[in-house]
Amino acid sequence: MNRKLLFGGAAVALAGVALYRLVTPAEDIYEGPAGAWTANDMPDLSGKVIVVTGGNSGIGFEAAKEFARKGAHVILACRNMEKARSAMEEIVAEMPGASIEIMDLDLASLDSVRQFAAAFKAQHDRLDILVNNAGIMMVPYGKTKDGFESQFGVNHLGHFALTGLLLEPLLATPGARVVTISSNAHTRGEMDFTDLGFQDGSSYDRSAAYNRSKLANLLFTQELQHRFAESGADVIAVAAHPGISATHLADHLIEGPFIDLARPLAGRIFQSAAMGALPTLRAAVDPSAQGGDYYGPDGFNSFRGYPVKIAASPAAQDAADARRLWDVSEHLTGVTYDALQPRESSGDHSQQA
């Protein structure tokens, strides 16, 4: 048999399998295949206090809904309070006993981040889970209120500042977690510390900026976990990504002359926001999760499926870059993590998670 035909046929078969796995509808979030982690695996969360940034839509909304279903008090930390109120009302309509609160938070403003943290600490003395979920994706060049490139500023710096300002209630809560949402796009990210702002817009590439911000999310998780472990804090830092999910985050992903052709195909490839929220939920509540773990879908190229532990890219595990990003972030935001003091027996940095 002609070897070229044989290999060509095998390639076509593999492509067919991959395409089938992409366009096959996602399973229900409560009833997956044998061994899959689903929302039914979530423990009771009564008495827990959970903050979800960007909890009014997309995977943040779906995660907040499931947290509330399990009895947690959930704070939707959102920029648009009208949408936050609508989201709260939708959850309460489905679950009349749900404990939901909405609070104003604009991650593009460090003043807003500080005001949110102060207001939260005035009302709550514990924080069991902080979900750093909100973000923007592949938007045109812009700046935050503090002058940072918008994707890096919102996706990374805003959450860096928020987490640092909420350290007190996190440290006061045994077994607390910080869950930061990244993306498969982090694998294409590069940390150029000489040009984090893309030369004030002149070298801006919206995809490169997004990829960098998602890489920063994982470097932040790595260094935060190191500092939690080094200080002996009873808190862990974990990360997750939703795969390719149908949310408003991707509004800028499909543009151009072929948009009418692309959208129907995207509708078949993208999994639901509810499925996309499963890695977030597992990272937040799975008792077996450890500091530094990273969760994503188990399907082809981690595009869709049920949540499993996955490996971050080598760049996301670069300890030197993680430390450098931390120092830069403290300098840019003015937020320091002074409560995380290393113990005398902390050991070498490179050995930490």
For residue 8, the surrounding DSSP H or E stretch is: helix 3-23
Residue of 204, 210, 306, 337 marked catalytic: 210
> For residue 163, which amino acid is it?
T
In whole angstroms, what is the distance from residue 308 CA to residue 168 CA?
30
Residue 212, classified by CB atoms within 10 Å of its CB into exposed (0-12), middle (13-18) or buried (19+), is buried
CA distances (Å), origin 315, targets 130, 184, 215, 218, 285: 25, 13, 8, 9, 27
For residue 75, the surrounding DSSP H or E stretch is: strand 73-78
In whole angstroms, what is the distance from residue 163 CA to residue 100 CA?
21
Q: What is the CB neighbour count within 10 angstroms for residue 37?
A: 19
In whole angstroms, what is the distance from residue 282 CA to residue 265 CA?
29
Structure tokens at 139: 């938007």
Dihedral angle over CA of 272, 277, 278, 280, nearest 10 = 160
Q: Is 210 a catalytic residue?
A: yes
CA distances (Å), origin 338, targets 129, 227, 267: 20, 11, 46
In whole angstroms, what is the distance from residue 150 CA to residue 138 CA?
10
| DSSP per residue, 91-122 | HHHH-TT-EEEEEE--TT-HHHHHHHHHHHHH
Give the residue numbers annotated as catalytic, written as ranges.
Answer: 210
